[in-house]
Amino acid sequence: MESIYNKSLSDLEEYFVNMGEKKYKATQVFEWLYAKRVTSFDEMTNIKNSIIARLKQDFYIDTLLIKKIEEDAEVNKYLFELNDKALVESVLMMHDYGKSLCISSQVGCNMGCKFCESGRLKKVRNLTASEMILQIMMIEKEIGARIGHIVIMGIGEPFDNFDNIVKFIEIANHAKGLQIGSRHITISTCGLVPKILEFKDLPYQVNLAISLHAPTNEIRNKIMPINKVYPIEQLMDAVRQYLAKTNRRVTFEYILLDGVNDSVEDAHKLCDLVEGINCYINLIPYNETNHLEFKRSKKEIILKFYDIIKRRNINVTIRREFGSKISAACGQLRSKKEDV
């Protein structure tokens, strides 16, 4: 048996056809799951009993336990306990354009980025598509409102869980599923080059964000071990191939770390690196944690860094800060719980 939330509409259509039933039964099931949000197969009143019995035999309708909620102005952080007692997090942010949810894709992370709390706790396993879908559904139920934007940038490296991520996008984006527009879904990667190249050939028009965080191999090697496998030259070549195929703007995420990657020279080298690429740079003030030695760049340094990029006519923003009074760093709430 498996969670029915792991199945896309096309998966269920194939399931019903193989059963000797009409494909439209899959649409009926999807409507019960995602439009009416039933929690039992017995609530699917327009589906005959013999099919309900078969569904119960092959699938279950599962849920996640919200273990803890931390709240701050315009942001909530949720700690989920999965069925195997593993813990992951989601962060809900209230923007002027609507509610955006940052979800986790793995229990822990093997990428080992030195500044990241998630990477301090090594990967235990991948999340299934259902466990990612349920992060959204459980929070929508909790707040009594729809979430319109999804960012796959929580605990884990999404492209290290590629197949489940693709399945998740298919369900979340589908008009009969969660109905989240493809341009309202952003997937972030620290730079798994083969998966960027694979992803560019898929039919989804979702946004791609690259966790760059350094303008040179020298700096990036020190803070992001993945760079020793796929150095910046390979990463940027993959980005150019992605742009050539999709014609979709890429975001470069850049956490500013005091004395590490925030000098005037670093700013100019970053501009040189992305020059001519259809992109924008998202500068991120660092969320300090008790476990890691890195410090946030000073406000005047952040503004100077921003001004240099702006003067070079490259699209740049400073990420609006959320959650200053909660465990804001990715993986921090889970880490605190597991340290107890």
Give me the active site residues, please. Answer: 89, 330
Structure tokens at 97: 């354009």
- Is 31 buried (19+), middle (13-18) or exposed (0-12) by CB count in 10 A? middle
For 23, 133, 134, the CA distances from 179, given in Å and listed in that order, are 20, 12, 14
What distance in Å separates the CA atoms of residue 166 and residue 169, rounded to the nearest whole number? 5
The answer to whether 307 and 37 are in contact (CB under 8 A) is no
Sheet hosting strand 207-211, strand order edge to edge: 65-72, 75-81, 87-95, 98-103, 149-152, 185-189, 207-211, 250-256, 279-285, 316-318
Widest distance between CA atoms in the chain: 69
